[in-house]
């Protein structure tokens, strides 16, 4: 009579005898919250306290101005594990910058770290002085030095910025990198649609033009259509904690397993933790991931969704997808792209996503969407 | 005010009141001053300017691992460093895994020289190497590979019995068989008996060399905090001095006319003790190999051990071949002392093998054996020439026999 019940009780708290993988314990350092980072876009309107910023008009152009400071700090990368990081404004990944095509991005950069740093943007930069490399412009900035970088926000897409000081491997993997998102200007898309798809100008139909403009509006944070989309930034990174030239921790947005379940018995039951919990998403909303690969020491990284296929826009520089209906994409270092997800036909529940290098997944780059 | 005093022919001037202090105060003075200076250091911190905030590196070692069942891995760790360390995460085969630290006072932090067990629920595969890494709070990692994992036997009466039977066959029986050469030894001339004693010394010398290398090798696995190499050296010298001082005391008694202290029985017991300590270490090796599931105690291996140990029998009884034959009880005692430690070593080795204990036992055995070789040399030179051609050759034969039979018992 009571056997079945006793059996199920046993399973609910007994835990699997095989043990469970995943980082033990919760995060105690709450300075950085990967769940908040997903949605933190700095457009110049003061979105983040630790990123002084402003937006104004100058010579008929919108300027988005940010103050960046490189500092030496420690970041928590797994429960109980501190990593000595070099970070823009104290966070890894660095603050996400967002602008609209054609804007001027002005970054007032001050180096407060012990080593010389720069900021190198992966943008179409017409002034080589602004490239943020040791051999050009102001070169590397020593401790206490400042420089104001100015970049034209082009092309549309999801881009990467990082320190270009040498040794490059160390300056990147210590944490000096982040994402820049350039939204399309719908008016410009209407005028030059061929620049946003793989068709020749002669092939552009009115219907295609309208589709491209509509898609551009969903990407532009100043359009009401953009509010319909849930946008997330994921910077895939890793940390070599013991200096052996290989990463001990892998993650999307720094913290191992931060988007994992808090606790599970391995038999289908799980509980969200305080700091380790799935990303909750609304199944009726369109989901977009701005994915950037910042991994050091490994040749590639990847993004794989369970029970789901998506369209992928490599570098985000087109409004028509570069890959349709795939469940895995691969990126080399600095490669990035936009992932468009639709869970409207899925039952509510947990959907896993992770790097499909098993090693990376088991070392922290293992996450879940909780579709509600 | 002083008066001359003699000590072994050296004249010294003894001062009754050094520095004008009573003797006890003079003895305590340096200790008192040391205490004051040490106290002053804590109070005044005169080297504060030298404290650059440098941190000693964490030093944690995995002493051994046990696999109590097919879904548990237990890693035994010791903190060797001068500061406490925290085990924040555990990786098994390059994957973060849940774990429990036991024996560190309820948390994951180990004080200097503190040991603990990291218990990992993991369904390991027999024979498939398993890499475990402990990740400390500063991100440094301590790697340990469990080569070809096999279940640890654990404490059962069956195991105790098995080790006792093994010990009986590889230790007690061969030594007892070897002792049966006693009547034959009695019938020998002095010249040949000396040759047999030299042969025994050769056997012992090989055991000392073999065990010495093994002790230093094992000493490298000893957690750094216990200074494995120094511990082995201390064990060897300590045992040598301890046995030598007992021997010197015996000679004093013999010189004073104590008949019992004069007999060769004493040397026989010393030989038995030295061989017994060696066999204890042999038992430890068998037991730990057994515990790791590394040994198949087939007939060949047991016969190898028997061949190896049978030569130890005559070594034990050769010193009593002259003079009055000791009682049968002494023979039983000698055989037990030389052979039975294999059983004890087997138990210790299979239950709680620790490299520290193993290296120390081996070192003590080496020290005891070195003293016994010295003792045998004295015994021969009492009414013969120790370094005769025949004796040197039999000494060499002893070394070679042990080397050859040792090849049969590679664990």
Q: How far is CA B136 from the centre of its chain?
A: 33
Query: How far away is chain A from the Cα of B130, in angstroms, using its nearest Cα?
Result: 15
Q: Which chain A residues have a beta carbon less than 8 Å from that of B86?
A: 80
Per-residue pLDDT averaged across A332-346, rounded? 96
Per-residue pLDDT averaged across B366-377, rounded? 82
Helix (H, G, I), strand (E, B) or coil at B173: helix
Dist. CA A104–CA A98, nearest whole Å: 11
Per-residue pLDDT averaged across B38-66, rounded? 77
* Model confidence band, residue B409 (pLDDT cutoffs 50, 70, 90): low
pLDDT at A205 > cutoff 70: yes
Where is A251: in which H helix or E strand?
Answer: strand A249-252
pLDDT of the residue at B184: 87
Answer whether A256 sits within 8 Å of B90, measured CB to CB.
no
Q: Which chain A residues have a beta carbon less than 8 Å from that of B95?
A: 21, 362-363
Answer whether A363 sits within 8 Å of B99, measured CB to CB.
no
Q: Which chain B residues have a beta carbon less than 8 Å from that of A173?
A: none
According to CATH, the superfamily of the domain at B60-146 is PCu(A)C copper chaperone (2.60.40.1890)
Interface of B with A in 163-222 (CB under 8 A): none
Please tell me which residue of chain B has the smallest CA distance to A84: B138
Q: What is the pLDDT of residues A56-109, one digit of tens each?
A: 999 999 999 999 999 999 999 999 999 999 999 999 999 999 999 999 999 999
Dist. CA B180–CA B178, nearest whole Å: 5
The two structure tokens encoding residue A197:
């798809």
pLDDT at A201 > cutoff 50: yes
Strand ranges across the sheet with B100-102: B60-69, B72-79, B115-121, B100-102
pLDDT of the residue at A71: 96
Helix (H, G, I), strand (E, B) or coil at A279: strand
Per-residue pLDDT averaged across A333-355, rounded? 96
Interface test with B, best of A16, A19, A367 (most B CBs within 10 A): A19
The residues with which A120 forms a beta bridge, in sequence order, are: A162
Query: Domains in chain A, please, with CATH?
Result: 34-187+223-227 (2.60.40.420), 188-219 (no CATH), 229-371 (2.60.40.420)
Answer whether A24 sits within 8 Å of B86, measured CB to CB.
no
* Model confidence band, residue A9 (pLDDT cutoffs 50, 70, 90): very low
* Model confidence band, residue B15 (pLDDT cutoffs 50, 70, 90): low
The residues with which B214 forms a beta bridge, in sequence order, are: none
Answer whether B141 sits within 8 Å of A256, measured CB to CB.
no
Dist. CA B40–CA B32, nearest whole Å: 12
Dist. CA A19–CA A41, nearest whole Å: 39
pLDDT of the residue at A257: 95
DSSP, residue by residue, B252-318: HHHHTT-HHHHSTHHHHHHHHHHHHHHHHHHHHHHHHHHHTT-----HHHHHHHHHHHHTHHHHHHG
pLDDT of the residue at B304: 67
Cα angle for residues B359, B364, B368 (degrees, 5° grid):
150
Instruction: Please give the mean pLDDT across all residues of chain A.
Output: 92
Contact B178, B376 (CB under 8 A): no
Query: How far away is chain B from the Cα of A122, in angstroms, using its nearest Cα?
Result: 31
Which is higher by pLDDT, A14 or A50?
Answer: A50
Which is higher by pLDDT, B37 or A89?
Answer: A89
pLDDT of the residue at B189: 86
Q: Complex ipTM, two decimals?
A: 0.81
Q: Which chain B residues have a beta carbon less than 8 Å from that of A29?
A: none
pLDDT of the residue at A47: 94
- H-state helical runs in B322-388: 328-339, 341-351, 355-382
Q: What is the pLDDT of residues B214-271, one digit of tens each?
A: 888 888 877 776 778 898 999 899 988 987 887 788 778 877 777 666 667 888 888 8
Lowest mean pLDDT among A258-262, B338-342, B351-355: B351-355
Interface test with B, best of A85, A248, A355 (most B CBs within 10 A): A248
The two structure tokens encoding residue B340:
């039975």
Dist. CA B401–CA B201, nearest whole Å: 12
pLDDT of the residue at B352: 64
Q: What is the pLDDT of residues A263-273, one digit of tens each?
A: 888 888 999 99
Q: Which chain A residues have a beta carbon less than 8 Å from that of B98?
A: 19-22, 24
Q: Which chain B residues have a beta carbon less than 8 Å from that of A363?
A: 91, 94-96
**CB contact set of B299 (below 8 Å; sequence gap of 6+):** none
Interchain CB contact of A273 with B (< 8 Å): no
pLDDT of the residue at A188: 96
Contact A300, A309 (CB under 8 A): no
Interchain CB contact of B124 with A (< 8 Å): no
Instruction: Please give the mean pLDDT across all residues of chain B.
Output: 82
Q: Which chain B residues have a beta carbon less than 8 Å from that of A79?
A: 88-89
Helix (H, G, I), strand (E, B) or coil at B22: coil
pLDDT of the residue at B10: 54
Q: Where are the domains of chain B?
A: 2-50, 60-146, 157-409
Interchain CB contact of B131 with A (< 8 Å): no
């Amino acid at each position: 009579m009571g056997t079945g019940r006793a059996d199920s009780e046993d399973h609910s708290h007994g835990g699997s005898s095989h043990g469970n993988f995943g980082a033990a314990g919760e995060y105690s350092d709450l300075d950085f919250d990967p769940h908040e980072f997903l949605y933190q876009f700095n457009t110049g309107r003061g979105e983040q306290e630790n990123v002084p910023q402003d937006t104004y008009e100058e010579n008929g152009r919108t300027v988005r101005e940010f103050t960046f400071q490189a500092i030496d700090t420690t970041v928590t990368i797994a429960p109980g594990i501190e990593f000595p990081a070099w970070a823009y404004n104290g966070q890894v990944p660095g603050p996400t910058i967002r602008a609209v095509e054609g804007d001027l991005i002005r970054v007032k950069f001050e180096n407060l770290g012990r080593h010389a740093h720069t900021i190198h943007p992966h943008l179409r930069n017409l002034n080589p002085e602004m490239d943020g490399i040791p051999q050009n412009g102001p070169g590397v900035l020593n401790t206490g030095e400042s420089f104001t970088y100015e970049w034209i926000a082009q092309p549309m897409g999801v881009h990467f910025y990082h320190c270009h000081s040498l040794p490059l491997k160390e300056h990147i993997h210590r944490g000096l990198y982040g994402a820049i998102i350039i939204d399309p200007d719908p008016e410009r898309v209407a005028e030059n649609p061929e620049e946003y798809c793989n068709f020749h100008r002669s092939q552009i139909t009115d219907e295609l033009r309208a589709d491209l403009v509509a898609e551009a509006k969903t990407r532009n944070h100043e359009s009401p259509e953009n509010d319909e989309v849930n946008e997330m930034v994921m910077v895939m990174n890793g940390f070599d904690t013991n200096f052996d030239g290989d990463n001990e921790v892998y993650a999307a947005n720094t913290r191992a397993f931060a988007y994992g379940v808090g606790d599970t018995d391995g038999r289908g039951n799980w509980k969200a933790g305080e700091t380790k919990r799935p990303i909750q998403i609304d199944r009726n909303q369109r989901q977009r991931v701005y994915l950037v690969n910042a991994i050091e020491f490994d040749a590639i990284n990847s993004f794989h969704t369970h029970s789901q296929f998506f369209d992928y826009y490599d570098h985000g520089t087109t409004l028509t997808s570069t890959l349709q209906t795939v469940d895995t994409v691969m990126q080399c270092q600095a490669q990035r792209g936009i992932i468009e997800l639709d869970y409207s036909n899925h039952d509510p529940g947990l959907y896993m996503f992770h790097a499909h290098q098993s090693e990376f997944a088991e070392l922290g780059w293992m996450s879940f969407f909780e579709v509600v | 005010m002083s008066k001359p005093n003699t000590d072994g022919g050296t004249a010294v001037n003894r001062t009754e009141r050094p520095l004008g202090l009573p003797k006890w105060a003079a003895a305590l003075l340096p200790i008192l001053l040391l205490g004051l200076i040490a106290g002053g250091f804590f109070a005044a911190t005169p080297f504060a300017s030298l404290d650059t905030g440098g941190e000693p590196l964490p030093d944690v070692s995995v002493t051994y691992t046990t696999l109590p069942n097919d879904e548990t891995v237990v890693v035994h760790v010791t903190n060797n460093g001068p500061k406490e360390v925290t085990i924040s995460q555990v990786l098994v085969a390059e994957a973060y895994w849940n774990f429990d630290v036991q024996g560190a006072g309820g948390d994951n932090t180990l004080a200097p020289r503190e040991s603990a067990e990291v218990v990992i629920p993991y369904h390991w595969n027999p024979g498939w190497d398993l890499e475990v890494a402990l990740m400390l709070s500063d991100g440094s990692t301590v790697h340990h590979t469990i080569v070809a994992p096999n279940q640890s036997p654990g404490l059962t009466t069956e195991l105790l019995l098995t080790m006792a039977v093994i010990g009986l066959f590889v230790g007690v029986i061969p030594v007892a068989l070897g002792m049966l050469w006693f009547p034959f030894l009695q019938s020998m001339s002095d010249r040949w008996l000396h040759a047999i004693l030299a042969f025994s010394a050769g056997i012992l010398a090989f055991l000392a060399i073999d065990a010495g290398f093994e002790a230093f090798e094992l000493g490298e696995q000893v957690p750094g905090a216990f200074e494995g190499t120094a511990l082995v050296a201390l064990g060897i010298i300590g045992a040598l001095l301890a046995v030598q001082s007992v021997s010197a005391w015996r000679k004093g008694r013999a010189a004073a006319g104590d008949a019992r202290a004069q007999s060769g029985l004493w040397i026989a017991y010393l030989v038995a003790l030295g061989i017994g300590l060696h066999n204890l270490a042999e038992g430890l090796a068998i037991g730990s190999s057994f515990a790791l599931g590394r040994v198949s105690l087939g007939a060949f291996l047991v016969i190898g051990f028997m061949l190896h140990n049978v030569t130890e029998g005559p070594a034990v009884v050769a010193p009593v071949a002259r003079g009055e034959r000791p009682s049968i009880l002494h023979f039983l005692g000698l055989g037990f002392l030389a052979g039975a430690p294999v059983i004890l070593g087997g138990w210790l080795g299979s239950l709680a093998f620790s490299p520290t204990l193993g290296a120390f036992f081996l070192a003590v055995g080496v020290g005891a054996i070195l003293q016994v070789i010295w003792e045998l040399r004295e015994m021969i030179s009492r009414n013969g020439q120790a370094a005769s051609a025949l004796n040197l050759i039999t000494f060499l034969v002893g070394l070679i026999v042990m080397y050859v039979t040792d090849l049969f018992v590679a664990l």
